[in-house]
């Protein structure tokens, strides 16, 4: 099936089987390998992308379902000049990654979260980010990075 | 793992979807948050996948004559963020917030949770406590069933292969109703081991249990006892009492106690 998907503002076209997962289309057809594939059943969150601005698991969508839709992957976060977003900078400053396998999913989830709810307590960050797993950091650095960018309820 | 090959049709209308579903080994695809893992593991191998997502007419939340009508394709996140739901049926908001994680709820649908009938799913239990009814459509016609008729066993419902769940009707909660949904899962967002949904009002007590059987179960003896003046503790003991497994009995008893306490707050 012929599909066309807007990823990070550029159109990507390809011929896919109905069973091709969106995660595989993003990596193998579009060549955007920043999106990682972990568990392939929706548990780990590594493959999270934004579909029309909302985070979704790309391993739980078929590529054909994204035809005509707009996706944001981790490659689309930084500006065209390569300048990192405040969230990405906070991840480096707070040691929010070690091996980096989960990082794209965390960034995409946190980016959508902060847009929807800029004011967040630490407990709320932990609850909202619970759908992404990290096996290196113990989460402390990740939570600290999101907190650094969020407005805390006391400041609001 | 990758799915086995299947044919794919994007349904553009409800009649179109019903026509495709009447055609042999077809499987309806809603949000895909439970079905796609089954496809990826090749535990489900349908010949034809009928994608319901393009059918805009199946996605709505409406209150009319006090009844909440939920289109089967309504996303769980839409239910979670609805002011109408929060105001009239706060139990549904509490329950849906325990379904997976935000990214799952952005795709997962209310109808999908019901039709998949996972015994650890929250929404079927909350809808059972609220006395919801379920509208099933096929090319043959339409019928309306209650939770006791719909849920048959683990991942099993009375929805025929050519039928589609199209709408869930939630009656108005009794005047002054207080409600609460609680569950226990090993980690936040994981499948629940047990849970309880309660709706309390003068002359009204509904308790539905998660993890007390293969389907949502109404704790009828506990409900009757509450109406007859039993304490919350006595009712909770009755609700857990029918379970043979000691751990589950303790868990359900504790969760019903907690749900009653939270509802009365």
**pLDDT tens-digit readout, A35-94:** 999 999 999 999 999 999 999 999 999 999 999 999 999 999 998 899 999 999 999 999
Q: What share of chain B in percent tops pLDDT 90?
A: 96
What is the average per-residue pLDDT within B103-122? 98
ipTM over 0.90: yes
What is the average per-residue pLDDT within B37-59? 97
CATH code reported for the domain at B7-51: 3.30.43.10
Residue B1 has pLDDT above 90, yes or no: no
Contact at CB, A18 and B5, closer than 8 angstroms: yes
Domain over B56-170 is classified CATH 3.30.465.10: yes
Query: Are residues A120 and A63 part of one domain?
Result: no
pLDDT of amino acid B120: 96
pLDDT of amino acid B207: 98
Contact at CB, B188 and A56, closer than 8 angstroms: no
User: Which residues of B fall within a CB distance of 8 Å from A51?
Assistant: 106-107
Contact at CB, B36 and A56, closer than 8 angstroms: no
Is A154 a domain residue?
no
pLDDT of amino acid A135: 95
Out of B4, B8, B102, name the one closest to residue A128 (CB). B102
Q: Band the pLDDT of A156: cuts 50, 70, 90.
A: low
Residues B217, B196: Cα–Cα separation, whole Å: 10
Q: Which fold has domain B179-264?
A: Enolase-like; domain 1 (3.30.390)
SS3 A62: strand
CA-CA distances (angstroms) from residue B115 to B74, B110, B140, B147, B186?
Answer: 13, 9, 19, 11, 25
Residue A14 has pLDDT above 70, yes or no: yes
pTM (two decimals): 0.96
Residues B84, B63: Cα–Cα separation, whole Å: 8
Residue B50 has pLDDT above 80, yes or no: yes
Q: Band the pLDDT of A152: cuts 50, 70, 90.
A: confident
Residue B187 has pLDDT above 90, yes or no: no
**Which of A76, A101, A129 is the C-terminal boundary of a domain?**
A76
Contact at CB, B37 and A65, closer than 8 angstroms: no
What is the average per-residue pLDDT within B187-214? 94
* Shortest CA gap A85–chain B (Å): 21
Contact at CB, B103 and A48, closer than 8 angstroms: yes
Contact at CB, B32 and A54, closer than 8 angstroms: no
pLDDT of amino acid A52: 95
The pLDDT tens digits of the residues spanning A16-51 come to 999 999 999 999 999 999 999 999 999 999 999 999
Q: Which residues contact B121 (CB under 8 A, 6 or more apart)?
A: B99, B113, B210
What is the average per-residue pLDDT within B49-78? 98
CATH number where A95 lies: 1.10.150.120
Task: Take residue A154 and report the two structure tokens written for it.
Answer: 């006391």
The whole domain housing A11 covers 2-76
User: Which residues of B fall within a CB distance of 8 Å from A127?
Assistant: 188
Is A48 a domain residue?
yes
B186: contact with A, CB 8 A cutoff: no
Handedness of CA B125, B131, B132, B134 (dihedral sign): positive
Query: Are residues A94 and A64 part of one domain?
Result: no
Query: Are residues A140 and A97 part of one domain?
Result: yes
Q: Could you tell me which chain A residue has the CA closest to the CA of B52?
A: A65
């Amino acid at each position: 099936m012929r599909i066309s998907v807007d990823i990070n503002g550029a159109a990507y076209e390809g011929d896919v089987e109905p069973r091709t997962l969106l995660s595989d289309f993003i990596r193998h057809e579009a060549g955007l390998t920043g999106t990682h594939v972990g568990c392939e059943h929706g548990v780990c969150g590594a493959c999270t992308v934004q579909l029309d601005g909302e985070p979704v698991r790309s391993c739980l969508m078929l590529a054909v379902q994204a035809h005509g839709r707009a996706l944001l992957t981790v490659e689309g976060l930084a500006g065209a000049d390569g300048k990192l977003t405040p969230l990405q900078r906070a991840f480096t400053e707070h040691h929010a990654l070690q091996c980096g396998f989960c990082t794209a999913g965390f960034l995409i989830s946190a980016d959508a979260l902060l847009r929807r709810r800029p004011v967040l307590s630490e407990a709320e960050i932990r609850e909202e980010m619970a759908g992404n797993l990290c096996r290196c950091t113990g989460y402390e650095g990740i939570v600290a990075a999101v907190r650094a960018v969020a407005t805390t309820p006391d400041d609001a | 793992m990758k799915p086995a090959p299947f044919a794919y049709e994007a349904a553009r209308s409800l009649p179109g979807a019903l026509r495709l579903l009447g055609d042999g080994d077809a499987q309806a695809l809603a949000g895909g948050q439970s079905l796609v893992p089954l496809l990826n593991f090749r535990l489900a191998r349908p010949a034809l996948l009928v994608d319901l997502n393009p059918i805009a007419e199946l996605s709505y939340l409406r209150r009319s004559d006090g009844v909440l009508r939920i289109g089967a394709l309504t996303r769980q996140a839409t239910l979670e963020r609805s002011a109408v739901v929060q105001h009239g049926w706060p139990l549904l908001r509490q329950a849906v917030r325990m379904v997976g994680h935000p990214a799952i709820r952005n795709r997962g649908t209310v109808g999908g949770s019901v039709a998949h009938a996972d015994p650890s799913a929250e929404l079927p239990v909350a809808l059972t406590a609220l006395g919801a009814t379920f509208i099933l459509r096929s090319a043959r016609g339409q019928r309306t069933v209650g939770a006791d008729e719909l849920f048959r066993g683990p991942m099993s419902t009375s929805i025929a292969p050519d039928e589609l769940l199209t709408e869930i009707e939630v009656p108005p909660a009794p005047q002054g109703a207080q409600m609460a949904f609680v569950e226990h899962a090993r980690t936040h967002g994981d499948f629940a081991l047990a849970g309880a949904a309660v709706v309390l009002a003068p002359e009204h007590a509904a308790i539905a249990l998660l993890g007390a059987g293969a389907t949502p179960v109404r704790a009828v003896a506990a409900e009757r006892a509450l109406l007859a003046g039993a304490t919350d503790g006595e009712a909770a003991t009755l609700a857990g009492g029918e379970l043979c497994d000691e751990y589950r009995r303790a868990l359900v008893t504790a969760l019903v106690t907690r749900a009653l306490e939270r509802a009365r707050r």
